[in-house]
Copies of this chain bind each other. A is one copy, B any other.
Amino acid sequence: MELQNIIDQSIEAQSKEASATVTETLLLNKTLKIEPLTPEAFKPFGDLIDKDNSEFFMINNGSTRRYHRMADVDVADNGGEPIISIFQATPLQYPLSIKMMERHPLGSQAFVPLLGNPYLILVAPKDDSPNPDAIRAFISNGKQGVNYHKGVWHHPVLVLKEEDQFLVVDRAGPGNNCDEVYFSDKVQVELTLDDLVSI
């Protein structure tokens, strides 16, 4: 028993020390709140591509509604050209520790869901580097697409279903169009799915 007591005390001491160290050195420790995606909330970051939040006019002799110009493709900087691609993505593991953000300094990037599945969107305001304390998390209802404005920090695709798909409209052309910033270990930002009632 004496030996067991020593071991227990040792473990307890180590645990307290580790906990104290983490608390002292962490600069940020937060869990993101997932918000619904609305044009107003997303406005600082880009456009919502969502016919249920858009006006339309009739074309084609009255047979077609045109929900016009929900997003502008802004990719002309430095000789860029707009291109159309498809992304097929795999879900990451949750709870997810947010380790990095990226931005496209030369162009906008639009994602429109092709299979109707809800997915998550993480953004941070335009700045020299992404402010981890300013990250916002949104959930799309599966019909809503987003168009990140040029230079807006965002997390790579965050799908919730296997082999989910998006139409992507972004830029091809000369120059570096992807900056990635990795956060320090002292920054802990976590994304959980605990508060998602229904997906």
Residues of A with Cβ closer than 8 Å to B?
49, 51, 54, 56, 59-61, 63-73, 75-76, 81-90, 92, 110, 112, 114-116, 143, 145, 147, 156-157, 165, 167-169, 172
Contacts and interface: CB of A to CB of B under 8 A. Distances in A.
Contacts of A67: 85-88
Which 8 residue pairs spanning A and B have beta carbons closest together?
A73-B82, A60-B156, A71-B84, A67-B86, A64-B89, A65-B88, A82-B82, A69-B83
B87 A65 contact: yes
A126 to B, nearest CB: 21
A27 to B, nearest CB: 24
Q: Which of A66, A114, A145 has the most CB atoms of chain B within a 10 A radius of its CB?
A: A114
Max chain B CB contacts within 10 Å: which of A81, A110, A157?
A: A81
Contacts of A83: 68-69, 71-73
A69 B69 CA distance: 22
Given A86-B51, A89-B63, A69 B172 contact: yes
A84 B49 contact: yes
A23 to B, nearest CB: 30
B64 A88 contact: yes
A86 B156 contact: no
A84 B70 contact: yes
B72 A169 contact: no
Q: Give the most central of A65, A73, A156, A167: most B CB within 10 Å.
A: A167
B70 A85 contact: yes
A130 to B, nearest CB: 16
Contacts of A65: 87-89
B81 A66 contact: no
B157 A86 contact: no
Contacts of A87: 59, 64-67
A51 B89 CA distance: 13
Contacts of A54: 86
25 contacts: A51-B86, A51-B165, A54-B86, A59-B156, A60-B89, A63-B90, A63-B156, A63-B157, A65-B88, A66-B85, A66-B86, A66-B87, A67-B85, A67-B86, A68-B83, A69-B83, A70-B86, A71-B83, A71-B84, A72-B83, A72-B84, A75-B82, A82-B82, A114-B143, A115-B116
